[in-house]
Amino acid sequence: MTYRYSRIVGTGSILPPRIVTNQQLVAELGSRGIETSDEWIVERTGIRQRHIADEGVTSSRLATEAGRRALDAARLDPSDIDLIIVATSTPDFVFPSTACLVQKELGAAGGAAFDVQAVCTGFVYAFSVADSMIRSGLAHRALVVGAEVFSRILDWNDRGTCVLFGDGAGAVVLAGSDEPGLLAAKLHADGRHESILRTAGNVCHGEITGHPYLTMDGQAVFKLAVSVLDSVARETLAEAHLPIEAVDWMIPHQANVRILNATARRLHIPLSRVVVTVDSHANTSAASIPLALDQAVRDGRIRAGHNVLMEGVGGGFTWGAVLVRF
Protein backbone atom coordinates (compact mmCIF):
# COMPACT_ATOMS: atom_id res chain seq x y z
CA MET A 1 0.00 0.00 0.00
CA THR A 2 1.30 3.46 -0.86
CA TYR A 3 0.22 6.86 0.43
CA ARG A 4 0.20 10.29 -1.15
CA TYR A 5 1.47 11.93 2.02
CA SER A 6 2.97 11.38 5.44
CA ARG A 7 1.49 13.25 8.41
CA ILE A 8 2.77 14.05 11.89
CA VAL A 9 0.51 12.15 14.29
CA GLY A 10 2.47 12.69 17.51
CA THR A 11 5.37 14.69 18.95
CA GLY A 12 7.53 14.22 22.05
CA SER A 13 10.71 15.56 23.59
CA ILE A 14 12.99 15.42 26.60
CA LEU A 15 15.53 17.74 28.18
CA PRO A 16 17.99 16.48 30.80
CA PRO A 17 16.89 17.84 34.20
CA ARG A 18 20.22 19.55 35.00
CA ILE A 19 20.00 23.24 33.99
CA VAL A 20 23.20 25.27 33.75
CA THR A 21 22.48 29.01 33.68
CA ASN A 22 24.84 31.53 32.10
CA GLN A 23 25.74 32.75 35.59
CA GLN A 24 26.67 29.23 36.70
CA LEU A 25 28.69 28.62 33.54
CA VAL A 26 30.46 31.99 33.77
CA ALA A 27 31.44 31.20 37.39
CA GLU A 28 32.67 27.71 36.48
CA LEU A 29 34.70 28.91 33.50
CA GLY A 30 36.00 31.89 35.53
CA SER A 31 37.34 29.52 38.21
CA ARG A 32 39.52 28.01 35.46
CA GLY A 33 40.67 31.40 34.14
CA ILE A 34 38.34 31.53 31.12
CA GLU A 35 36.70 34.94 30.84
CA THR A 36 33.14 35.33 29.61
CA SER A 37 29.98 37.01 30.86
CA ASP A 38 26.22 36.62 30.95
CA GLU A 39 25.97 39.96 29.06
CA TRP A 40 28.18 38.72 26.19
CA ILE A 41 26.32 35.43 25.85
CA VAL A 42 22.85 37.03 25.95
CA GLU A 43 23.73 39.92 23.65
CA ARG A 44 25.54 37.81 21.01
CA THR A 45 23.35 34.67 21.11
CA GLY A 46 20.14 35.14 23.14
CA ILE A 47 21.09 32.07 25.22
CA ARG A 48 20.32 32.27 28.98
CA GLN A 49 20.67 28.61 30.01
CA ARG A 50 21.21 25.10 28.65
CA HIS A 51 20.35 21.55 29.81
CA ILE A 52 23.34 19.25 30.30
CA ALA A 53 23.07 15.45 30.47
CA ASP A 54 24.65 13.71 33.45
CA GLU A 55 27.56 11.35 32.76
CA GLY A 56 26.24 8.06 31.41
CA VAL A 57 23.12 9.59 29.84
CA THR A 58 23.48 8.87 26.12
CA SER A 59 21.82 10.07 22.93
CA SER A 60 20.02 6.72 22.65
CA ARG A 61 18.57 7.15 26.14
CA LEU A 62 17.28 10.65 25.37
CA ALA A 63 16.04 9.52 21.94
CA THR A 64 14.18 6.55 23.45
CA GLU A 65 12.36 8.77 25.96
CA ALA A 66 11.46 11.40 23.34
CA GLY A 67 10.27 8.59 21.06
CA ARG A 68 8.16 7.05 23.81
CA ARG A 69 6.47 10.42 24.45
CA ALA A 70 5.78 10.90 20.72
CA LEU A 71 4.28 7.40 20.50
CA ASP A 72 2.09 8.12 23.55
CA ALA A 73 0.88 11.36 21.92
CA ALA A 74 0.09 9.40 18.75
CA ARG A 75 -1.62 6.67 20.83
CA LEU A 76 0.52 4.08 19.12
CA ASP A 77 2.59 1.16 20.40
CA PRO A 78 6.25 0.66 19.49
CA SER A 79 5.15 -2.43 17.54
CA ASP A 80 3.14 -0.15 15.20
CA ILE A 81 6.38 1.45 13.97
CA ASP A 82 8.24 -0.05 10.99
CA LEU A 83 10.93 2.62 10.58
CA ILE A 84 13.17 4.47 13.07
CA ILE A 85 15.54 7.21 11.96
CA VAL A 86 17.72 9.02 14.48
CA ALA A 87 19.49 12.22 13.45
CA THR A 88 22.56 12.67 15.65
CA SER A 89 26.17 13.77 15.53
CA THR A 90 26.77 12.38 19.02
CA PRO A 91 25.88 8.68 18.61
CA ASP A 92 26.48 6.25 21.48
CA PHE A 93 28.88 4.19 19.37
CA VAL A 94 30.67 4.08 16.01
CA PHE A 95 28.19 1.24 15.47
CA PRO A 96 25.54 -0.10 15.89
CA SER A 97 23.46 2.93 15.02
CA THR A 98 21.68 4.88 17.74
CA ALA A 99 18.42 4.02 15.95
CA CYS A 100 19.03 0.28 16.50
CA LEU A 101 19.61 0.93 20.22
CA VAL A 102 16.37 2.95 20.38
CA GLN A 103 14.53 0.16 18.58
CA LYS A 104 15.78 -2.36 21.15
CA GLU A 105 14.87 -0.14 24.12
CA LEU A 106 11.38 0.56 22.76
CA GLY A 107 10.78 -3.09 21.84
CA ALA A 108 10.01 -2.26 18.21
CA ALA A 109 12.01 -4.99 16.48
CA GLY A 110 11.66 -5.88 12.82
CA GLY A 111 11.44 -2.67 10.81
CA ALA A 112 14.28 -0.58 9.41
CA ALA A 113 16.43 1.49 11.77
CA PHE A 114 19.34 3.76 10.90
CA ASP A 115 21.02 7.06 11.75
CA VAL A 116 21.28 10.19 9.62
CA GLN A 117 24.32 12.44 9.95
CA ALA A 118 23.67 15.98 8.76
CA VAL A 119 24.60 17.76 12.01
CA CYS A 120 22.14 20.57 12.85
CA THR A 121 20.17 19.86 9.62
CA GLY A 122 19.87 16.20 10.63
CA PHE A 123 16.24 16.28 11.72
CA VAL A 124 15.10 17.94 8.49
CA TYR A 125 17.07 15.37 6.45
CA ALA A 126 15.69 12.45 8.52
CA PHE A 127 12.13 13.77 8.26
CA SER A 128 12.39 14.03 4.45
CA VAL A 129 13.85 10.52 4.16
CA ALA A 130 11.07 9.06 6.33
CA ASP A 131 8.43 10.88 4.25
CA SER A 132 9.93 9.52 1.01
CA MET A 133 10.04 5.98 2.40
CA ILE A 134 6.41 6.18 3.51
CA ARG A 135 5.24 7.56 0.16
CA SER A 136 7.19 4.89 -1.74
CA GLY A 137 5.62 2.09 0.33
CA LEU A 138 8.85 1.08 2.11
CA ALA A 139 7.37 2.03 5.50
CA HIS A 140 3.98 2.84 6.98
CA ARG A 141 4.70 4.52 10.30
CA ALA A 142 8.00 6.10 11.23
CA LEU A 143 9.60 7.43 14.37
CA VAL A 144 11.95 10.29 13.49
CA VAL A 145 14.18 11.56 16.28
CA GLY A 146 16.80 14.26 16.70
CA ALA A 147 18.97 13.49 19.76
CA GLU A 148 22.23 14.98 20.97
CA VAL A 149 24.67 15.12 23.87
CA PHE A 150 26.77 17.91 22.39
CA SER A 151 28.20 18.67 25.84
CA ARG A 152 30.46 15.60 25.28
CA ILE A 153 32.18 17.02 22.18
CA LEU A 154 32.67 20.57 23.49
CA ASP A 155 36.09 21.90 24.40
CA TRP A 156 35.23 23.46 27.78
CA ASN A 157 38.35 25.63 27.44
CA ASP A 158 37.06 27.28 24.23
CA ARG A 159 34.74 30.12 25.26
CA GLY A 160 33.87 30.73 21.60
CA THR A 161 31.93 27.43 21.43
CA CYS A 162 31.33 25.93 24.89
CA VAL A 163 28.72 28.55 25.89
CA LEU A 164 26.57 27.84 22.81
CA PHE A 165 25.34 24.26 23.06
CA GLY A 166 23.07 22.01 25.14
CA ASP A 167 21.70 18.45 25.23
CA GLY A 168 18.23 17.02 24.52
CA ALA A 169 16.03 15.07 22.11
CA GLY A 170 12.81 15.59 20.16
CA ALA A 171 10.75 13.16 18.11
CA VAL A 172 7.80 12.88 15.76
CA VAL A 173 5.70 9.95 14.60
CA LEU A 174 4.95 10.11 10.89
CA ALA A 175 2.13 8.02 9.40
CA GLY A 176 1.04 7.38 5.82
CA SER A 177 -2.07 9.35 4.85
CA ASP A 178 -4.02 10.56 1.85
CA GLU A 179 -4.41 13.98 3.50
CA PRO A 180 -1.45 16.41 3.57
CA GLY A 181 0.98 16.14 5.39
CA LEU A 182 4.39 17.16 4.28
CA LEU A 183 3.78 19.68 1.47
CA ALA A 184 7.34 20.26 0.27
CA ALA A 185 10.94 19.57 1.22
CA LYS A 186 14.30 20.88 0.00
CA LEU A 187 17.68 19.53 1.06
CA HIS A 188 21.14 20.91 0.26
CA ALA A 189 24.81 20.52 1.12
CA ASP A 190 28.06 22.16 0.10
CA GLY A 191 31.01 20.10 1.30
CA ARG A 192 33.43 22.82 0.23
CA HIS A 193 32.60 24.50 3.56
CA GLU A 194 33.30 21.37 5.63
CA SER A 195 36.04 23.04 7.68
CA ILE A 196 34.00 25.94 9.16
CA LEU A 197 32.12 23.71 11.62
CA ARG A 198 33.37 20.26 12.52
CA THR A 199 34.51 17.69 15.03
CA ALA A 200 37.40 16.23 13.08
CA GLY A 201 38.24 13.24 15.27
CA ASN A 202 38.06 9.51 14.65
CA VAL A 203 38.88 6.16 16.20
CA CYS A 204 41.85 4.53 14.51
CA HIS A 205 43.85 1.48 15.62
CA GLY A 206 42.35 1.77 19.09
CA GLU A 207 43.28 5.45 19.52
CA ILE A 208 41.50 8.74 18.97
CA THR A 209 42.99 10.46 15.93
CA GLY A 210 42.46 14.08 14.89
CA HIS A 211 40.65 16.60 17.09
CA PRO A 212 37.70 15.14 19.01
CA TYR A 213 36.19 18.54 19.97
CA LEU A 214 33.87 20.84 18.06
CA THR A 215 35.56 23.74 16.28
CA MET A 216 33.75 26.56 14.49
CA ASP A 217 34.43 29.70 12.49
CA GLY A 218 31.41 31.45 14.04
CA GLN A 219 31.24 34.42 11.70
CA ALA A 220 31.49 32.29 8.54
CA VAL A 221 28.74 29.98 9.84
CA PHE A 222 26.59 32.96 10.84
CA LYS A 223 26.75 34.57 7.37
CA LEU A 224 26.04 31.33 5.51
CA ALA A 225 23.21 30.42 7.90
CA VAL A 226 21.33 33.69 7.40
CA SER A 227 21.68 33.46 3.63
CA VAL A 228 20.60 29.80 3.20
CA LEU A 229 17.73 29.95 5.73
CA ASP A 230 16.25 32.72 3.61
CA SER A 231 16.79 31.03 0.23
CA VAL A 232 15.65 27.54 1.27
CA ALA A 233 12.45 28.91 2.85
CA ARG A 234 11.56 30.63 -0.44
CA GLU A 235 12.46 27.54 -2.47
CA THR A 236 10.31 25.25 -0.28
CA LEU A 237 7.30 27.57 -0.39
CA ALA A 238 7.64 27.88 -4.19
CA GLU A 239 7.66 24.08 -4.44
CA ALA A 240 4.38 23.99 -2.45
CA HIS A 241 2.93 26.90 -4.52
CA LEU A 242 2.26 28.82 -1.31
CA PRO A 243 3.07 32.44 -0.42
CA ILE A 244 5.10 33.36 2.68
CA GLU A 245 1.87 34.59 4.32
CA ALA A 246 0.62 30.96 4.33
CA VAL A 247 3.23 30.05 6.98
CA ASP A 248 1.52 29.94 10.39
CA TRP A 249 4.69 28.99 12.28
CA MET A 250 8.35 29.03 11.38
CA ILE A 251 10.76 26.81 13.35
CA PRO A 252 14.34 27.53 12.32
CA HIS A 253 17.25 25.61 13.82
CA GLN A 254 17.89 27.25 17.21
CA ALA A 255 21.52 28.38 17.06
CA ASN A 256 21.42 32.09 17.76
CA VAL A 257 18.53 34.49 18.30
CA ARG A 258 20.23 36.99 15.96
CA ILE A 259 20.07 34.39 13.15
CA LEU A 260 16.37 33.77 13.90
CA ASN A 261 15.61 37.51 13.89
CA ALA A 262 17.53 38.13 10.67
CA THR A 263 15.79 35.22 8.93
CA ALA A 264 12.33 36.38 10.02
CA ARG A 265 13.13 39.95 8.92
CA ARG A 266 14.38 38.86 5.48
CA LEU A 267 11.29 36.69 4.93
CA HIS A 268 8.88 39.33 6.34
CA ILE A 269 7.55 36.79 8.85
CA PRO A 270 6.57 38.49 12.14
CA LEU A 271 8.59 37.33 15.14
CA SER A 272 5.29 36.42 16.81
CA ARG A 273 5.07 33.51 14.34
CA VAL A 274 8.58 32.19 15.00
CA VAL A 275 9.04 29.50 17.66
CA VAL A 276 12.06 30.42 19.78
CA THR A 277 13.66 28.09 22.35
CA VAL A 278 17.33 29.01 21.99
CA ASP A 279 17.10 31.19 25.12
CA SER A 280 16.31 28.21 27.35
CA HIS A 281 17.66 25.19 25.39
CA ALA A 282 20.74 26.77 23.70
CA ASN A 283 21.81 25.00 20.48
CA THR A 284 20.94 21.29 20.66
CA SER A 285 21.95 20.60 17.03
CA ALA A 286 19.69 17.93 15.44
CA ALA A 287 17.38 18.00 18.47
CA SER A 288 16.62 21.73 18.33
CA ILE A 289 13.80 21.70 15.76
CA PRO A 290 11.81 18.73 17.13
CA LEU A 291 12.26 20.09 20.68
CA ALA A 292 10.82 23.45 19.63
CA LEU A 293 8.07 21.75 17.62
CA ASP A 294 6.98 19.62 20.56
CA GLN A 295 6.93 22.63 22.85
CA ALA A 296 4.72 24.63 20.47
CA VAL A 297 2.38 21.67 19.87
CA ARG A 298 1.98 20.96 23.58
CA ASP A 299 1.39 24.60 24.58
CA GLY A 300 -1.32 24.85 21.91
CA ARG A 301 0.35 27.32 19.55
CA ILE A 302 0.52 24.82 16.67
CA ARG A 303 -2.96 23.47 15.88
CA ALA A 304 -4.68 21.31 13.26
CA GLY A 305 -4.60 22.96 9.85
CA HIS A 306 -1.53 25.13 10.57
CA ASN A 307 1.33 25.25 8.06
CA VAL A 308 4.68 24.87 9.81
CA LEU A 309 7.99 25.61 8.10
CA MET A 310 10.96 23.87 9.74
CA GLU A 311 14.43 24.89 8.63
CA GLY A 312 17.80 23.38 9.46
CA VAL A 313 21.35 24.57 8.88
CA GLY A 314 24.68 23.28 10.12
CA GLY A 315 27.94 21.44 9.64
CA GLY A 316 28.73 19.82 6.35
CA PHE A 317 27.80 22.51 5.32
CA THR A 318 24.16 21.34 5.16
CA TRP A 319 20.79 23.05 5.04
CA GLY A 320 17.18 22.21 4.23
CA ALA A 321 13.54 22.85 4.99
CA VAL A 322 10.24 20.99 5.24
CA LEU A 323 6.81 22.58 5.03
CA VAL A 324 4.24 20.54 6.95
CA ARG A 325 0.47 20.88 7.33
CA PHE A 326 -0.78 19.82 10.76
Active-site residues, by number, are 120, 253, 283
**C-beta of 105: minimal distance to ligand UT7 in Å?**
27
Please give the DSSP secondary-structure letter assigned to residue 132.
Answer: H
Using CB under 6 A, which of the segments 84-92, 106-114, 184-192, 221-229 binds ligand UT7? 221-229
At 259, which amino acid appears?
A: I
Q: Distance from CA of residue 170 to its chain's centroid? A: 7
**C-beta of 40: minimal distance to ligand UT7 in Å?**
4
Which of 15, 255, 267, 309 is close enough to bind ligand UT7 by CB under 6 A? 255
Which of 184, 259, 297, 302 is close enough to bind ligand UT7 by CB under 6 A? 259
Using CB under 6 A, which of the segments 10-18, 39-47, 207-215, 267-275 binds ligand UT7? 39-47
Nearer to ligand UT7, 175 or 228 (CB): 228
> CB within 8 A of 250, min separation 6: which ones?
233, 263, 264, 267, 269, 273, 274, 275, 308, 309, 311
Which of 290, 314, 316, 320 is close enough to bind ligand UT7 by CB under 6 A? 314
Give DSSP secondary structure letters for 184-240.
Answer: EEEEEE-GGGGGGEE--EEEETTEEEE--S-EE-HHHHHHHHHHHHHHHHHHHHHHT
Assess 160 for contact with ligand UT7 (CB under 6 A). yes
Backbone torsion region of residue 254, taken as left when φ is above 0, otherwise alpha when ψ lies between -120 and 50, otherwise beta: beta
- For residue 312, whether the previous peptide bond is cis, meaning omega lies within 30 degrees of 0, is no
Which of 9, 19, 40, 48 is close enough to bind ligand UT7 by CB under 6 A? 40
Nearest residue to ligand UT7 on Cβ basis: 218
Assess 224 for contact with ligand UT7 (CB under 6 A). no
Using CB under 6 A, which of the segments 4-12, 72-80, 216-224, 265-273 binds ligand UT7? 216-224
> CB within 8 A of 140, min separation 6: which ones?
1, 82, 134, 175, 176
Alpha carbons 17 and 319: distance in angstroms, whole number? 30
Provide the binding-site residues for ligand UT7, judged by CB under 6 A.
Answer: 36, 40, 44-45, 120, 159-160, 163, 197, 218-219, 221-222, 225, 255-256, 259, 283, 285, 314
